[in-house]
Structure 1
Amino acid sequence: MISTVYAITLVGIGLVIAVFYFVIANSKEADPDYPSITKKWYGVRSKWFLFLLVLGITVSVLSTNPFPTPDQKKEYSGGDYQNVTVDSHQWYWIMTPSTVKAGQPVEFQVSSADVNHGFGIYDEKLTLVAQTQAMPGYTNKLIHTFDKPGKYKILCLEYCGLAHHAMISELTVE
C-alpha cells in the first residue's frame, strides 16, 4: 500500500512538473510594451518555480516515507510470539489473555463483531504505542514488542457509536 501511494505521488509530481514546464516554455514571448520588466519577471518566475519544485519534492519524499508501523512480516528469532486475541464490540473489548511479558513480541489478532473500531494501545503517559483497525469479518495482525512493563490502555480510535468514549480496556505488561 505504501509503495502504491509513493508511486502515485511521484507520478502526480511529474505531471505538475510537465504542466509547469509546458507553461513556462510556451510563455517566453516578450511583451513589446515592457521588454525589460517582462525579462526581469520571467527570471523571477523561473526561480520561484524551481524553489517550489524543490520544496514540493522534498515535502513529498519526507511525507511518503514508510509510516511508523512495525514490520509485520519480520520473523522473531528469540522464541514464539505471545498471542493475544482481541474481539471488539460496541462498546467494549474482549482480550485473551490480558497480561503479556515485556521484551517478547506480542501478536494481536484483532477483529470486530459489529462495526469498524480502531484498536489503539497507549502507554502510561497516554502516548500511542501501536494501532490497527478492527473490522467485521476480517482479522488484522499487529505485532508489537513492549520495552517496559506497566499498564497500557486500549482505546477505540474510530467513532463507533454513542458509548465510543467508554470503550476502554487495559493490558498488563509484566
Structure 2
Amino acid sequence: MQSIAAQITFVLLLVLVLCFVWVLRRTAIPTPLEKLTTGAYKLRSRLFVLALLSGCVITGFTLMPWPHDAQATQVTRHIDIKARQWAWELSDQTARVGEVIEFRVSSEDVNHGFALYDEQQHMLAQIQAMPGFVNKVRHRFTAPGVYKVLCLEYCGVAHHGMVADIQVLPAP
C-alpha cells in the first residue's frame, strides 16, 4: 500500500512540475512593459528553476534513508499487540537480533499510536492502532537491548504511562 501511495505522489508531483514549467514557458514572452525589466525576469526564471531543482534534490536525499527495511520481506514471526486505555498487551515480549518481526497492532477502545523505540530513544517503527482494524508493521532488530513501546496519540489521562518493553536477545 505504501508503494502505491509513493507512486501516486510521484505522478502528482510530476504533474505539478509540468504545470509550473508550462506557466514558466508561457511567461517567457515579454510584454512591452516587461521588456523594460527583462533582466529581472530572466533572474526570476533562473531562481525559480534553481529552487525547483534544489527542492527535487533535497526531497530525494531526505527520502533516501527510507525507514522501511527493504530486506524485511521474510517475516520470522508475528507479535500481536492490543492497545487499550492505558496499556499494551503483547503476545510476546521477547525477540532475537536478526529476526524480522511483524507487529500486528489493533486497539480495543480508541485510537492509539504504536511506536517502537531503541535504548537511545530513537523511533524505529510506528503505526496507528485503531479499533476494528489490524495494522501491520515489520521491523528487523539489529542490536540486543530493551526496546520501548510507547503510545503516540493522546488517549486519556494516563496516556503517559502507556509503556511496554520488548527484550531483544542476542542471535543464537
TM-score, normalised relative to structure 1: 0.81
Structure 2: distance between partners of 1:46 and 1:149: 53
Q: How does 1:138-157 map to 2 (within 5 A)?
A: 138-157=133-152
- Paired-residue identity, %: 36
Unaligned runs of 5+ in 1: none
Amino acid at match of 1:158: E
1:39 CA displacement: 3.0
Query: RMSD value over aligned CA atoms?
Result: 2.4
Task: Give distance in 2, aligned partners of 1:72 and 1:117.
Answer: 27
Please name the residue that 1:15 is paired with: 19
Q: Which amino acid aligns with 2:54?
A: L
The 3 A distance-change label for structure 1 pair 125 and 57 is: closer
Correspondences of 1:68-87 after superposition (within 5 Å): 68-71=67-70, 74-75=73-74, 81-87=76-82
Name the residue aligned to 2:31: 29
User: Which position in structure 2 is the counterpart of 1:106?
Assistant: 101
Cα distance in 2 between the residues matched to 1:61 and 1:107: 28
- How many residues were matched structurally? 165
Q: Structure 1 residues 61 and 123 mapped into 2: Cα distance closer, same or farther (>3 Å)?
A: closer
> Is 1:6 aligned to 2:5, yes or no?
no
Unaligned runs of 5+ in 2: none
1:48 and 2:43 matched: no
Report the TM-score when normalising by structure 2.
0.82
Please tell me whether Structure 1 or Structure 2 has the larger radius of gyration of its CA atoms. 1
1:109-148 equivalence runs, <5 A: 109-148=104-143
